[in-house]
Amino acid sequence: MAQDMMDGIVPVNETIKNPERLCEELCANRPEFKEFPYNKNVPARIKTLQSTVLKVGDAAKTDSDALIHDRALNPQSAHGYNGRILWKDSDADAQLKTAMAKGDHLTMAAEELYKSDPSHSAFSQTRFAKRIDQLKHDAKPYGMTPGQIRCSKLPAGNKEKSRKGIIGAYKNEE
């Protein structure tokens, strides 16, 4: 109901004359409300919800307007604190992402890919290669590698299969 108030479906500034009908209209097609029929507390809850939405909605609108105003006065910088150009929203970043979407990073070396577009020259070749690695890493599905999974299942006290070897952790054990 709060979302309906924020969207303007339910009035926020007016008192609800027939809260029972409002609840029936809003909750009729929602299965989670079938167990909770209308009761005498609903009108008070609607008033509380209206006052909360008024406070929160005005704060969100004020914050949004303030952010637009501040961005107009102080646009987001294209350079970092150390003077280097930021990758985010740069032409080189857009070109690299389209090249990687085509699969050029698989067929070309990083140096060839670096020289393929003049917008890449704003960054060093080393930084460009690191960015390729970052984008490859971001494209991987989350989770552990098979080696990490296999090592994590080792029993803690088993010296024969431990990562330290057959002798043990302190090399003075047998």
pLDDT in tens, 70-114: 989 988 888 888 888 888 888 889 999 999 899 888 888 989 999
Q: Is 159 exposed, middle or buried (0-12, 13-18, 19+ CB in 10 A)?
A: middle
Is the separation of the CB atoms in 125 and 114 below 8 Å?
Answer: yes
Look at residues 69, 87, 67 and name the one whose alpha carbon lies nearest to residue 78: 87
Longest Cα–Cα distance in the chain:
84
- For the chain, the domains span 2-73, 78-167
Percent of the chain with pLDDT over 70: 81
What is the tens place of the pLDDT at every residue in 132-165? 988 888 887 766 666 555 554 545 555 444 444 4
Q: What are phi and psi of 8, to 5 degrees?
A: 90, 10
Angle at alpha carbon of residue 165, lines to 164 and 170, rounded to 5°: 55
Nearest to 126 by CA among 114, 116, 143: 114
**Residue 68 C-alpha from the chain's centroid:** 22
